[in-house]
Amino acid sequence: MIAFKEIKESFLHLLFPHVCAGCGSDILSEESTLCMRCVDAMPETNFDIHPNNPIEKKFWGRLKLVGATAQYYFTKESLMQHLMHHFKYKNNKDLGLQLGRMMGESLKKSNRFNVDALIPLPLFPAKEKKRGFNQATILCQGMAEYMNVPVLNDVIIRPQFTETQTKKGRIERWLNMEGKFILKNPSAISDKHIILVDDVVTTGATLEACGTELLKADNVRLSLATLYYASH
């Protein structure tokens, strides 16, 4: 006899199919947003276990770091690009949390990132309002489950454009504001090892600006982690 629970689950599955965000397969556990095949296919960098990796080299002479890593490689038309589209533009926060857990598990194992707190790189307030969330905060929440450290959202902020700035040209305004961060609560991170988190590292300019501001706190040690690395 088919149990009522099974009928209910099949019915729910028809209405709300629980499928892999990577490939659409329905062979995956209830708690996961990715099937095992897609998890295995993720292009891991293993930078977390390698000092002097390309991310650390990128910041040499720019930012004093304890360590830096990016979890995955990113290429166009790849699984990673597909997942980022689902996470950032289709609001799949469960997927973001799972990607964060995968980062956290890896960093915890590496033993090079034994930090006291996670800091998501802030978005401009208007952008966060429009998207409904900050992708870096979601990643931090997933990471925190493995790393057992708090996510600090109120330490550093990103000021919105002001009236006078909107009168300037768009590009000039962007140049003015892109790298602007304000350390609001330095005492929350003084004497701590913190890790600044974002979804991607490309030129590193924004992470550098935010990191420079965080380093103004007393005796703070800084590391960086991003979900992926766009090398080209």
Binding stretches for Zn ion (CB under 5 A): 20, 22-23, 25, 35, 38
Residue number with CB closer to Zn ion (28 or 195): 28
Instruction: Decide whether 23 or 66 has the Cβ nearer to Zn ion.
Output: 23
Q: How far is the CB of 46 from Zn ion (least distance, A)?
A: 22
For Zn ion, give the closer residue by CB, 34 or 210: 34
Per the structure block, which two tokens stand in for 118?
């996670």
Rounded least distance, CB 142 to Zn ion, Å: 18
User: What backbone torsions phi and psi does residue 150 show, to the nearest 5 degrees?
Assistant: -75, 155
Closest of 1, 3, 35, 2 to residue 18, by C-alpha = 35
Q: How far is the CB of 69 from Zn ion (least distance, A)?
A: 24
Output the six-digit token pair for 33: 């947003």
Which of 24/159 has CB closer to Zn ion? 24
Residue 83 and residue 20 in contact, taking contact as beta carbons nearer than 8 Å: no
Shortest CB 20 distance to Zn ion, Å: 3
Return d(Cα 224, Cα 217) in angstroms, integer.
16
**Nearer to Zn ion (CB atom), residue 42 or residue 188:** 42
Minimum Å distance from CB 36 to Zn ion? Answer: 8
Closest CA to 59 of 75, 70, 73, 43: 70
- What residues have CB less than 8 Å from 173, skipping those under 6 apart? 161, 165, 166
